[in-house]
Amino acid sequence: MKASVFFTHQEVARPELRGQTAVVIDVLRATSTIVAALDAGATAIHPVVSVADAVRLATSLGRGEALLAGERGGRRVEGFHLGNSPAEFTTERVHAKRVVMSTTNGTAALVAASAAQRTVVASLVNLSAVAAEVAAAERLAVVCAGHAGRFSMDDALCAGMLLRRLSERTAALELDDSGRAALALASSFEVDADSLLRCAWGAVLAGLGREDDVRWCARVDALDLVPELSDGLIRS
């Protein structure tokens, strides 16, 4: 397997992804929340870049058919049913519902990676399940959402942990420079709730009263869903 890592989704050139399997990571919190939503019984998630497009899409799907979810600056978008906290995506709220979701970085990363042959949604909570799912890919692109176009430690650590799991399964793992850096990073840091709270965005979320979300997102391998984006919809 040849694997490359993009530390921000802005680095991704869509044509480069053709024929590849992409794994999209936004540990805090979009991809963790997507796993939570599907685990709670949501039928599908529509990742959308802008708030205006999310509203348009939800309206076209019909009243009562779709829930609007998302954040800006870590806070629920005004008028949306849900924010971007995994705790909000309970069975009572989302079971049998579609969710139209727009977040600052995570859904933009998913849309950017949708040019790949397969686009898989990963986070710490479903890491080993994703590793097993993509282990046979010939070309893998690990796309970190990053934060506002910049490196994000939580995503990079998760990317490195994914590569470590793949190296245990695949004898011939060829990494680009970013992949080698991510792997080295994951070997140097313990990933747990406290280390995520020390990441820049983890600290911001704690300041917004969302420390419990960060702790939830730190539960490595808690779930075994492998959500996949296809034709604009994420399903597991």
Binding site for ligand MLT (CB under 6 A): 26, 28-30, 71, 74, 84, 103-106, 145, 205
| Burial status of residue 90 (CB atoms within 10 A of its CB: 0-12, 13-18, 19 or more) | middle
Closer residue to ligand MLT (CB): 105 or 178? 105
Q: Which is nearer to ligand MLT, 22 or 28 (CB)?
A: 28
Supply the minimum distance, in Å, between the C-beta of residue 96 and ligand MLT: 24
How far is it, in rounded angstroms, from Cα 156 to Cα 118? 21
Least distance in Å: CB of 147 to ligand MLT?
Answer: 6
| DSSP helix, strand, coil percent of the chain (3-state; round to 5) | 45, 20, 35
CB closer to ligand MLT out of 106 and 160: 106
**Phi and psi based region of residue 134 (left: phi greater than 0; alpha: psi -120 to 50; beta: remaining):** alpha
Least distance (Å) from ligand MLT to the CB of residue 175? 26
Q: Which is nearer to ligand MLT, 133 or 213 (CB)?
A: 213
With respect to ligand MLT, which residue has the nearer C-beta, 104 or 114? 104
What minimum distance in Å lies between the beta carbon of 168 and ligand MLT? Answer: 28
- Distances 104 to 81, 176, 180 between C-alpha atoms, Å: 17, 27, 27
Tokens of 91: 């069975």
- Rounded distance, CA 154 to CA 162, Å? 12
Nearest distance, CB of residue 103 and ligand MLT, angstroms: 3
